Amino acid sequence: MSGGPHSLDDPDYARFAWARYRRTLKWMALVSLLSVAGALGWLYLARGGITLHIGIATAIGVGLTVFLAAALMGLVFLSSGTGHDEEVEKPDLDRR
């Protein structure tokens, strides 16, 4: 596959694209932590207190769900923005 100027095949652009992806994930880690804090705060106010086990389960569940969604969506945008989606649609003429 030969990529265009905005392809992960170009080392400079790949470095830029992956750095942007990692920067986005760092921000989304913060959003994930804020979501955990919000969920724990809501549970505390709604129930009048929570046990340690409920707190841990909520933190893991909410935190990983938000972060996993962000990571997967980031990969979708990375793939689309670097032309890999268009490359897959092209027929492979080298195999004929």
Whether residue 94 is contained in a domain is answered as no
Q: CA 82 to CA 20: how far, in whole Å?
A: 12
* Structural domain that includes position 21: 11-83
For 60, the token pair is 């893991």
Give the pLDDT band (50/70/90) at residue 1: very low
Q: CA 88 to CA 96: how far, in whole Å?
A: 16
Whether residue 29 is contained in a domain is answered as yes
Whether residue 1 is contained in a domain is answered as no
Residue 14's alpha-carbon distances to 25, 30, 58, 74, 77, in angstroms, are 16, 25, 36, 14, 14
Whether residue 47 is contained in a domain is answered as yes
Structural domain tally of the chain?
Answer: 1
Q: What is the pLDDT of residues 47-96, one digit of tens each?
A: 988 999 999 999 999 999 999 999 999 988 888 777 666 666 666 665 55
Whether residue 36 is contained in a domain is answered as yes
Whether residue 45 is contained in a domain is answered as yes
Whether residue 73 is contained in a domain is answered as yes
pLDDT value, residue 9: 74
Whether residue 69 is contained in a domain is answered as yes
